[in-house]
Structure 1
Amino acid sequence: MVALALFQRATGRELWHLALPGQACDKATRDALLDLEDAGKARPDGWARGRKLWCLTRAGHKEAAGFLPPGTKLSTVREGESAGYDEHALDVVTTAGHLTRAGHGSPLTLTTEVRHPVPGRPARYADLVLRDPGASVPVLLVEVDRDNETVGQLVEKLASYTAWCELIAKGADKTRAKAARHDGAAVHDHRHWRTVYPPTGHEGYPPVALVLTPGRKRTRPGTKPLTPEQQAAKAERDHRRLLRRLDEVEDGSAAYWSPRPYPYAGVTAGNYHQALPVVATTLQLLDAHGADAPVWRRFGRTGWHTLTAALDNPDGDRLLAVEQKVAAAARRAREQAEREASRPACTGCEAKLTDAEWNRARWGERLCTACQQEESDRKRAERAAAEAEAAAAEAARAKNAGSWWRRSGRRP
């Protein structure tokens, strides 16, 4: 019931993924819808893709609102039967169901048609917004395209999101905000988007997810239906075409998702703090594998990744810290090598002086400790020998003097 209050209309399949993602099939969801119909809180509202569409009655809408936090954006109550349905809206519900089933958000964390106004531009309405603070994916702005927009229009959407993310917060110091543009994550302290969405957990602006799906063309009356083989071949051609469109959108929007290079020599890490993370997939891949599988492409990278891996920036701040650590170690090694190359040698044995010996050498002592001790011992031995020789000479003089007095018969 809560899911229907948020998304207005859906089939039991989409509600199954949103409300009961752990169930093996949508039977429990369909049974619950029948119970709500008996209680006068839900009713059928046409058919879509071979399944019954459901919406809430006014009574059901009122009851569902009581389960939601105040201020939650609710869908409008549908009055009377509708002859048709919005394929795009159903694809948005399908995408929301895949995200929920993969553990990314719940009906209470998802909102549709969220407005992002930008001065001088048409306001950008996100088809779906996931806002789940503290989760592995705290925020995700989702754009679902049914092959009815040009590559240029999709690129313009990314340009609008970038412009919105760059808006200065109300009351922020514009001088400080301008100065912070060159200070990594500090730039976001002055931006408006931080007052709207929780921290992303990564460098950069709130991530945008593009989900592409081929539009369903009406078949002319009397047209022979395609065989299963022809349907499979057509689906494969459509999917390849969507992937080519993703390549074109990626090439055309590089100015918005590309990280800036750091102005340091030898640094290959990218500065993502002012980049718009863009991930992309197709609804066919989500239907076949689920949103928790490696079905997401990150613009600027090769291969397919899980959603959390695609939103990560392993070549951002973490790589910068590693490269700076390596550069600092290399600088210290280079400085040490230069110091060792200029280290003086002992003038006695020619061995390199230690740091303490080098400090003494600055005062004229160019001998190592061993040679200095040897020199000290030599000088001490020379002094001892000289003193012994002087004593012996003195004794000899005294003896000679005594002998002279005896020979002369004199007394001293």
Structure 2
Amino acid sequence: MVALVLFQRATGRELWHLALPGQASDKATRDALLDLQDAGKARPDGWARGRKLWCLTKVGHKEAARLLPPGTKLSAVREQAPSAGYDEHALDVAATAGHLTRAGHGSPLTLTTELRHPVPGRTARYADLVLRDPGADVPVLLVEVDRDNETVGQLVEKLSTYTAWCERLAKGADKIRAKAARHQGAAVHDHRHWRTVYPPTGHEGYPPVALVLVPGRKRDRPGTRPLTPEQQAAKAERDHQRLLRRLDAVEDGSAAYWSPRPYPFAGVTAGNYHLALPVVATTLHMLDAHGADAAVWRRFGRDGWHTLTGALDNPDGDRLLAVERRAAAAARRAREQAEREASRPVCTRCEAKLTDAEWDRARWGELVCSSCQQEEADRKRAQRAAADAETAAAEAASAKNTGSWWRRS
């Protein structure tokens, strides 16, 4: 019930991934829905994609609401209107939520739909799905599901709106300090409103946005012959390639929002992601085929496909900056040492280079190394010893002569 109260209507397949992701099939979910129907808490509400749609009754909706934290945004109670069509976009959002949950990213208790992000002077942005799970590998993720019914420009505008929302200052923030913090790495976020709404992302940059693309479904004309399996496979491949080209166009058009800024340091290739909007993208077809924990995510600005956690990481961000700055500091020390060695004086006697201690002593005296100083000291000591010996011998001889004269007298 908790999963169903978030999305209003869903089939057993979407609810399977949300409520019982560990099950091998959706049979247990369908059985649970039948039990809820017998208890008067759920009822069928039409069909979608060959599967039965379900929604909660007023009794089930009220009971499910009590299981959720206060303030959780709930869907409205679905009135009995069998003639009303179903919202395929809502089903795709529920399917995306199910794939994230099954991959270990969030749960029905950490998911919210249609969350408002107001921006002064612009139309508020409602995120299709928001994952908010503090302390998890992916603590926050804003999800936009596109059914191929918006232009590339509209998708780019969505990313610009998210960027503008992330740049909003927190209530009472000092504008001067906030402006100065733009050049202080992570300190920039201490002044931003988004930090009061979402938990820390665990990475540099704003809260990440995920784009999930779905090929638009066109209603077949009456009398149209169904596609053969081969034709369906060919169409699916064409749709997939078209969506990938669409991703390329959105990536190119939104580079101003997701691109890291260059650092003004020589020899640094790391990017400053603190003012960038991390954008990852995939297709619902890839999620269906491989799951959200597989390498099905593309990070705007990078090549290849990655896992979600890998795509959100910034290996060329602060960690690389620290490595490059340590390397630059080591190179600077080596260069300074080489320059010092090149200017190191030599002993004026033996021409050996002076040690640091000898160099310091030499600043107030002669440029002589310790060995030559020791040799000079030994030579002088030997000279003094020889002189002392001569003096002693002379005194001894004088004393002997004086003693002999007295004896003769």
TM-score strictly above 0.5: yes
Task: Report matched runs for 1:88-237 at 5 Å.
Answer: 88-237=89-238
| Cα displacement (A) at 1:351 | 1.6
Q: Percent identity?
A: 87
Q: Aligned equivalents of 1:82 and 1:297: distance in 2?
A: 40
Q: Output one character per residue of 1:80-107: Cα deviation in whole Å (capped at 9) or x when no partner.
A: 1233100101000000000000000000
Aligned residues: 407
Asked if structure 2 preserves the Cα contact closer than 8 Å seen for 1:213 and 1:283, the reply is yes
| Cα displacement (A) at 1:347 | 2.0
Task: Report matched runs for 1:7-406 at 5 Å.
Answer: 7-83=7-83, 84-389=85-390
Q: 1:62 to 1:398 in 2, by over 3 A?
A: closer
Q: Aligned equivalents of 1:24 and 1:391: distance in 2?
A: 111
Name the amino acid aligned to 2:40: G
Q: Aligned equivalents of 1:179 and 1:326: distance in 2?
A: 27
Q: Aligned equivalents of 2:349 and 2:379: distance in 1?
A: 13
Q: Aligned equivalents of 1:108 and 1:23: distance in 2?
A: 19
SS of the equivalent of 1:98 reads: helix
Q: Which moved more, 1:79-88 or 1:52-61?
A: 79-88
Asked if structure 2 preserves the Cα contact closer than 8 Å seen for 1:357 and 1:368, the reply is yes
| Cα displacement (A) at 1:366 | 2.0
| Cα displacement (A) at 1:225 | 1.6
Name the amino acid aligned to 1:21: P
Q: Aligned equivalents of 1:177 and 1:220: distance in 2?
A: 58
Q: Which moved more, 1:300-309 or 1:222-231?
A: 222-231
Q: Aligned equivalents of 1:285 and 1:197: distance in 2?
A: 28
Give TM-score, length-normalised by structure 1. Answer: 0.95
Name the amino acid aligned to 2:315: P
SS of the equivalent of 2:367 reads: coil
Q: Aligned equivalents of 2:392 and 2:112: distance in 1?
A: 109
Name the amino acid aligned to 1:205: Y
Give TM-score, length-normalised by structure 2. Answer: 0.96
Q: Aligned equivalents of 1:268 and 1:328: distance in 2?
A: 15
Q: Which moved more, 1:302-311 or 1:221-230?
A: 221-230
Q: Which moved more, 1:245-254 or 1:345-354?
A: 345-354
Q: Aligned equivalents of 1:166 and 1:82: distance in 2?
A: 45
Q: Output one character per residue of 1:102-142: Cα deviation in whole Å (capped at 9) or x when no partner.
A: 00000010000000000111000000000000000000000
| Cα displacement (A) at 1:166 | 0.1
For structure 2, which runs of at least 5 residues remain unmatched after alignment?
A: none
Name the amino acid aligned to 2:43: R
Asked if structure 2 preserves the Cα contact closer than 8 Å seen for 1:269 and 1:316, the reply is yes
| Cα displacement (A) at 1:333 | 1.0
Q: Aligned equivalents of 1:391 and 1:360: distance in 2?
A: 37
Name the amino acid aligned to 2:319: R
For structure 1, which runs of at least 5 residues remain unmatched after alignment?
A: none
SS of the equivalent of 2:251 reads: helix
